Amino acid sequence: DSGVTQTPKHLITATGQRVTLRCSPRSGDLSVYWYQQSLDQGLQFLIQYYNGEERAKGNILERFSAQQFPDLHSELNLSSLELGDSALYFCASSPPAGTEAFFGQGTRLTVV
């Protein structure tokens, strides 16, 4: 158990809908990263937050947004969902003075 908690584990929704994925980082970790893993693309970096502030942005679509709250949990919002958004979504967290990044078990999103 990495200590990073993601909910829900599985999500099935229809095209055009909006979903919210939640991540609770390890205790004391200030950085949260979101990644998307689809079958043919590998793990793609979406966005990073550090202590509530956006730190870096990767290949995140405009239909996707994220935020990190004062209690350091983070949410990834996916809207106007398309079939191609079906993927595993992982979050990871890092301690403020460390290099390690620990991943949660992911949310498997299926868009039908």
Residues near another protein (CB under 8 A): 2, 4, 31, 33, 35, 37, 42-45, 48, 50, 55-56, 58, 88, 90, 92, 94, 96, 98-106
Q: Of 64, 59, 62, 68, whose CA–CA distance to 92 is shortest?
A: 68
Residue whose CB is less far from another protein, 25 or 104: 104
Residue whose CB is less far from another protein, 20 or 37: 37
Concatenate the DSSP letters of all residues of 39-85 into one string. Answer: TTTEEEEEEEEETTEEEEE-S--TTEEEEE-TTS-EEEEE-S--GGG
Residue 80's CB: how many other CB atoms inside 10 A? Answer: 13
**Shortest Å, Cβ 64 to another protein:** 16
Residue whose CB is less far from another protein, 2 or 67: 2
Residue whose CB is less far from another protein, 82 or 100: 100
Measured CA distances, 46 to 49, 64, 89 (Å): 11, 9, 10
